[in-house]
Homo-oligomer: A and B are copies of this chain.
């Protein structure tokens, strides 16, 4: 892929800046200075940008207005939304050139980003890096419009919520970058939500698997980009675009020099609703018979618990986003062929998860978690675990209480 074969390529760094970091012309000029400083370190820099501030929401509002509230055509929507990142990428290239740095913007198409044809949530199929490398070889800073790609049909696609993070990690992998740096309005990954306890501590590093659990469970990161980083072992650095404070490095873990703590952090999701289907005749196919209609209706199910039964019936409980409780209940009542006695719904719940690769195959952590919650009077509604996570569903009004107690119990305020 290199055009100067025989000579060693300079290290490549991919940076990504989110919309709140690019909200105004002044923001763009400030970010341009950060990019210049990185370039001055003697590395090749690829920058992925999101749309400026709320501009994507403004475009969505326009699409609602012209269609009179009908759902706009998905293909048109993708081309419409892709303009937001074209605007910010060209403005960033102009700002850099005005400061005397050679730079060029590339649309998703020009950057060689090929996707499947699922408008609104396309997946990257391939990245052709010829143009990227030829621009880097000219000494240019390359600014890539995030969130977008080109389907085989010649139509523009977008990657869905948080798509620019995915663009950045995918480009870092394709360009064999040293790492992908995500600059945003939060300054790193914390042991837990700092609004819940003043003892929350910023992590200097976290493993991909842990971060995936944290991301899925509510920490502010797009899980798809973490997953991509994990599969290709591309280190992802998360930091603030508004300060020079050190952020958090998400990485493969095996290179860690320090002794790891068993528990890395506590993830919280505060919008949990619950559906319990009581008196289900316990026979094979029951779970699928309940869950398939929900999948068909587009309702995501999260935690699933089935209690053993003695009288030949069973209770089947699962959680959904709180806004979907009524819809889920209706869908099962209408579409499921499974026999049951009654459906009970619950809301006002939250999910608290203790995450850490150190817990893997090590007993005692679940016991410590549940005894800690018992000591502070937190009632546990449901429990589910993975190899590196223990999750409890509790009342939402108990979340702060629970998180503070667990943060103390696992000594997360202390550095590794």
Contact of A67 with B95 at beta-carbon distance under 8 Å, contacts A87-B59, A110-B154 already known: yes
Tell which of A63, A94, A98 has the most Cβ of chain B within 10 Å: A94
* A: contact size bracket: 35 or more
- A72 part of interface (Cβ distance < 8 Å): yes
Secondary structure of the A contact surface, majority rule: helix
Least CB separation from A84: chain B residue: B83
What B residues does A80 contact at CB under 8 A?
86-87, 90-91, 94
Least CB separation from A66: chain B residue: B95
- How far apart are the CA atoms of A405 and B288 in the complex, in Å? 88
- A297 part of interface (Cβ distance < 8 Å): no
- A298 part of interface (Cβ distance < 8 Å): no
Taking the closest CB of chain B, its distance from the CB of A369, in whole angstroms, is 50
Do A63 and B107 touch (CB < 8 A)? no
Do B98 and A77 touch (CB < 8 A)? no
Q: Which of A79-134 contact B (CB under 8 A)?
A: 79-80, 82-83, 86-87, 89-95, 97-98, 104-105, 107, 110, 131
- A68 part of interface (Cβ distance < 8 Å): yes
- How far apart are the CA atoms of A95 and B80 in the complex, in Å? 13
What B residues does A68 contact at CB under 8 A?
29, 98
Least CB separation from A27: chain B residue: B66
- A76 part of interface (Cβ distance < 8 Å): yes
What B residues does A104 contact at CB under 8 A?
75-76
Do A66 and B154 touch (CB < 8 A)? no
- A1 part of interface (Cβ distance < 8 Å): no
Least CB separation from A156: chain B residue: B107
What B residues does A67 contact at CB under 8 A?
94-95, 97-98
- A65 part of interface (Cβ distance < 8 Å): yes
What B residues does A59 contact at CB under 8 A?
87
Partner of A97, one of B32, B76, B92: B76
Contact of A79 with B105 at beta-carbon distance under 8 Å, contacts A93-B73, A94-B72, A98-B72 already known: yes
What B residues does A63 contact at CB under 8 A?
90-91, 94
Do B97 and A73 touch (CB < 8 A)? yes
Do A93 and B105 touch (CB < 8 A)? no
- A25 part of interface (Cβ distance < 8 Å): yes
- A62 part of interface (Cβ distance < 8 Å): yes
Tell which of A59, A72, A76, A83 has the most Cβ of chain B within 10 Å: A76
What B residues does A32 contact at CB under 8 A?
66
Contact with B along A307-342 (1 / 0, CB 8 A): 000000000000000000000000000000000000
What B residues does A239 contact at CB under 8 A?
none
Least CB separation from A24: chain B residue: B65
Tell which of A32, A87, A92 has the most Cβ of chain B within 10 Å: A87
Partner of A73, one of B62, B94, B155: B94
Q: Which 10 A-B pairs have the closest CB atoms?
A: A25-B65, A67-B98, A83-B83, A80-B90, A66-B95, A76-B90, A72-B94, A70-B98, A76-B93, A25-B66
Q: Which A residues are closer than 8 A to B by beta carbons?
A: 25-26, 28-29, 32, 59, 62-63, 65-68, 70, 72-73, 75-77, 79-80, 82-83, 86-87, 89-95, 97-98, 104-105, 107, 110, 131, 154-156
Please name 25 pairs of A and B residues whose Cβ atoms are closer than 8 Å in the assembled complex, sorted by A: A28-B66, A29-B66, A29-B68, A32-B66, A59-B87, A62-B87, A66-B91, A66-B92, A66-B94, A67-B95, A67-B97, A68-B98, A73-B97, A75-B104, A76-B94, A76-B97, A77-B90, A77-B94, A79-B90, A80-B90, A80-B94, A82-B86, A83-B86, A83-B87, A110-B154
